[in-house]
């Protein structure tokens, strides 16, 4: 199934959220005919759970589960495929020795998939927030409609996997949280990575990409300031483990990539080979005030100095 960049971002966010508590596998093969689940999570009972900090997502993942996020609302056939994959996967796992926990399915949809909800008799889940639905017992599935979830911090990570107005609102809430919060630590790097991906292909941007760039501008600027400050502290003031010069060089690369995306290999090679602290500090100041082209030209020109 072809997925867009926002589905991949949701999968990355699920991985970042759940990996500290157990095994998370992306694109897990669930049957011999190469059906794949977007995510398969099995909690590790030997680890102290941190998922209590994830709100509703933590509650959904107290046991083994597969997760299928949809940025675009899935149709009946896509919901059917998710259920078919789950039942196949449970059968395959039941034959393994030693036995593995059999997962349930969580479909995470930005919009309400009416055909799938009605066709498979999903019902509002008792004891859960609005927007959470359960299948009949022997289909072992739940469904979350992110646009219907309460606007509460407990639901924020899931609403960040949504679309349209719901996503814009969730991004505003994320930007307002303190930098040290779990949601910022999980979602910030994922959002930054996809901003860089979109920025590197301006000719291929969709209207949704443009909206995402606008909606994430505030949190991007805040994250950039925080990361640069932390990086300077770690790389320059506390760079003893790597050596002062290496720490400054690493910080310089990080700041460049926050601004402009992946650093060209030849530029990175020059920076990593530079041993003069004053030169590196000069380039740190330059990267904050110049274009990528001007910065690259100045660094490469240093080879002839």
In whole angstroms, give the CA distance from residue 225 to residue 254.
Answer: 12
Residue 33 pLDDT exceeds 70: no
pTM value is 0.72
Helix, coil or strand: residue 138: helix
The 10s digit of each residue's pLDDT in 237-279 is 443 234 456 667 777 887 787 777 788 999 999 998 888 877 8
| pLDDT reported for residue 305 | 63
**Closest CA relative to residue 299, chosen from 264, 269, 267:** 267
Range 274-279, long-range pairs (CB < 8 A, 24+ positions): 274/245, 274/249, 274/302, 275/245, 277/244, 277/245, 277/248
Dihedral sign of CA atoms 43, 47, 173, 189 in order: negative
| pLDDT reported for residue 241 | 37
Domains of the chain, residue spans: 5-165, 224-304
**Closest CA relative to residue 251, chosen from 280, 294, 222:** 280
Percent of the chain with pLDDT over 70: 86
CB distance 161 to 70 below 8 Å? no
């Amino acid at each position: 199934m072809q997925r867009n960049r926002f589905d991949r971002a949701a999968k990355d966010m699920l991985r970042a959220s759940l990996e500290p508590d157990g095994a998370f596998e992306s694109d897990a093969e669930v049957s011999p005919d190469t059906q794949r689940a977007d995510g398969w999570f099995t909690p590790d009972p030997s680890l102290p759970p941190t998922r209590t900090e994830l709100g509703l997502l933590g509650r959904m993942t107290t046991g083994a589960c597969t997760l299928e996020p949809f940025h675009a609302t899935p149709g009946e056939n896509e919901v059917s495929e998710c259920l078919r994959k789950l039942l196949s996967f449970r059968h395959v796992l039941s034959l393994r020795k030693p036995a593995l926990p059999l997962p349930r399915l969580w479909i995470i949809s930005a919009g309400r998939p009416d055909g799938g909800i009605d066709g498979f008799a999903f019902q509002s889940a008792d004891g859960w927030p609005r927007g959470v639905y359960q299948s009949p017992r022997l289909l072992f599935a739940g469904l979350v409609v992110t646009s219907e979830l309460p606007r509460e911090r407990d639901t924020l990570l899931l609403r960040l996997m949504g679309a349209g107005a719901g996503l814009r609102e969730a991004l505003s809430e994320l930007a307002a949280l303190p930098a040290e919060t779990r949601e910022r630590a999980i979602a910030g790097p994922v959002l930054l990575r996809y901003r860089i991906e979109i920025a590197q292909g301006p000719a291929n941007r969709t209207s949704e990409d443009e909206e995402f760039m606008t909606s994430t501008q505030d949190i991007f600027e805040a994250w950039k300031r925080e990361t640069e400050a932390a990086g300077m502290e770690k790389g320059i003031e506390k760079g003893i483990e790597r050596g002062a010069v290496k720490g400054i060089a690493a910080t310089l690369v990080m700041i460049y990539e926050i601004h402009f995306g992946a650093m060209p290999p030849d530029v990175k090679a020059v920076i990593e080979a530079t041993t003069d602290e004053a030169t590196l500090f000069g380039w740190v100041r330059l990267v904050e005030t110049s274009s990528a082209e001007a910065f690259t030209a100045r660094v490469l020109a240093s080879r002839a100095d």
